[in-house]
Amino acid sequence: MSPKHILIIYPEVHKTKVAVLRNVEPIFLKNIRHDRNELGSFKTTLDQKNYRIECIKKELVANDISLDNISLVMGRSGLVKPVSEGVYEVNKAMVKDLEDNTFGIHATNLGGLIAYDLAKEIGVTAYITNPVVVDELSDVARFTGHPLFENKSIFHALNHKYVAFKYSKAVNKKYTDLNLIVCHIGRGGVSVGAHEKGKVIDVNQAYDGAGPFGVTRSGTLPMGQLVDLCFSGKYTKEEIHSMITDNGGYKAYLGTDNINEINQKIADGDETARMVSYALSYQVSKEIASHVATLMGKVDAIILTGIIFDSSRFLENVKMRIGGIAPIALYPSVNDIEALAMYGYGVLKGDIPVKEYK
């Protein structure tokens, strides 16, 4: 097979990662950091699309990367309708859902839209894979405690699936033959999923729902206090949503969401920072241990992923609580670019089927 070039678009709240790979070999990688004031000039997140596209094209031109050489575009997945795992072509139905914010608003929604526009300009096809709304929950996991509410599957599906695949390959077994607990601590929230024979049958709703607090997520909050706060008249609906998703966790307690800064605070003897970090390791450990019951006590391995595990102190605080459950595999570096490249290359080779988004 002759070399093919894959363009990857990976938007985050304040930056856009762009990569070009020859087959699966990176030949260009750039983190385009966007000025917060410039982004603030746009009324909505979706209004940033053309601005980000121009930033991407400018960087490609500056680095002698021709769009004419691109065979396929992979975009970071966003909030679309619940789907099964796999690769999906970005079609008109998906574009409409992303543009209308039908299933929620987030910077990740720009991934599919930017990929679609660039692919159309080049004359190729755009895809997403394993969006955050991959839904494989068991029936019992959907129950909450009231029929007006249902647990939803919104988590770091791309990285969960990728590290589970990497671990399975490393131990020379199939993902579909293993029971795994995967814990991902991202730059925002935490997701801990029970992977039973290739299906994530239970996982905390990591975006604005339950589970451990994270770097900027509040996680599970005392319900009565939250209800009282909502009706206190002190905060708007938008402010409370922001409190839960963007300004909770480490950021709320310590005034920063920079992991390096927090680790330095701890190293300098900041007792509040040490205790908050310890509390996160405690909550994460409890969430992991809960899935021993989910998997009927049969756990082949626990996978820990996220840069926070680069901290030996944090890692040991988790391991001392859950180390006796099953072998622990560590993947601190989250490489969603690598994951998207793997799936994109599989599509190019014809090894991975493409699903239709309806």
Residues 218-227 pLDDT 10s: 999 999 999 9
267 in the same domain as 123: no
- What pLDDT digit, counting tens, does each position of 177-231 carry? 999 999 999 988 999 999 999 999 999 998 888 999 999 999 999 999 999 999 9
Cβ atoms of residues 21 and 27 within 8 Å:
yes
For residue 199, tell me if it sits in a domain: yes
Per the structure, the count of domains in the chain is: 2
Identify the CATH number of the domain in which residue 121 sits. 3.30.420.40
Residue the block writes with tokens 């601590």: 185
Q: Is 195 in a helix, a strand, or coil?
A: strand
Q: Residue 49 and residue 285: Cα distance in Å, rounded?
A: 39
For residue 331, tell me if it sits in a domain: no
- What pLDDT digit, counting tens, does each position of 263-321 carry? 999 999 999 999 999 999 999 999 999 999 999 999 999 999 999 999 999 999 999 99
Cβ atoms of residues 184 and 156 within 8 Å:
yes
Q: Residue 57 and residue 63: Cα distance in Å, rounded?
A: 10
- What pLDDT digit, counting tens, does each position of 46-60 carry? 999 999 999 999 999
Is the dihedral angle over the CA atoms 342, 355, 169, 155 positive or is it negative? Answer: positive
299 in the same domain as 152: yes
Query: Does the predicted TM-score (pTM) go above 0.85?
Result: yes
274 in the same domain as 151: yes
264 in the same domain as 207: yes
Give me the mean pLDDT over the 132-155 stretch.
97
Among 34-38, 144-148, 261-265, where is mean pLDDT lowest?
34-38
CA–CA–CA angle 305, 306, 308 (5° rounding):
125
- What pLDDT digit, counting tens, does each position of 89-128 carry? 999 999 999 999 999 888 999 999 999 999 999 999 999 9
293 in the same domain as 145: yes
310 in the same domain as 285: yes
Q: How confident is the model at residue 172 (pLDDT cuts 50, 70, 90)?
A: very high
The reported pLDDT for the residue numbered 113 is 97
321 in the same domain as 188: yes
For residue 13, tell me if it sits in a domain: yes
Rounded percentage of the chain residues whose pLDDT exceeds 70: 99
164 in the same domain as 107: no
Rounded percentage of the chain residues whose pLDDT exceeds 90: 91
Cβ atoms of residues 329 and 302 within 8 Å:
yes
Residue range of the domain that includes 57: 5-133+336-355
Q: How many residues does the chain have?
A: 358
Question: With 70 as the cut, is the pLDDT of residue 1 above it?
Answer: no
317 in the same domain as 188: yes
Average pLDDT in the chain: 95
170 in the same domain as 48: no
347 in the same domain as 277: no
Among 101-110, 149-158, 236-245, where is mean pLDDT lowest?
101-110
For residue 124, tell me if it sits in a domain: yes
CA–CA–CA angle 212, 218, 219 (5° rounding):
35
260 in the same domain as 176: yes
| Long-range contact pairs involving 30-37 (C-beta distance under 8 Å, separation at least 24) | 30/59, 30/63, 32/56, 32/59
The reported pLDDT for the residue numbered 2 is 61
For residue 111, tell me if it sits in a domain: yes
For residue 248, tell me if it sits in a domain: yes
Give me the mean pLDDT over the 324-352 stretch.
94
The reported pLDDT for the residue numbered 173 is 98
At 223, which amino acid appears? Answer: M
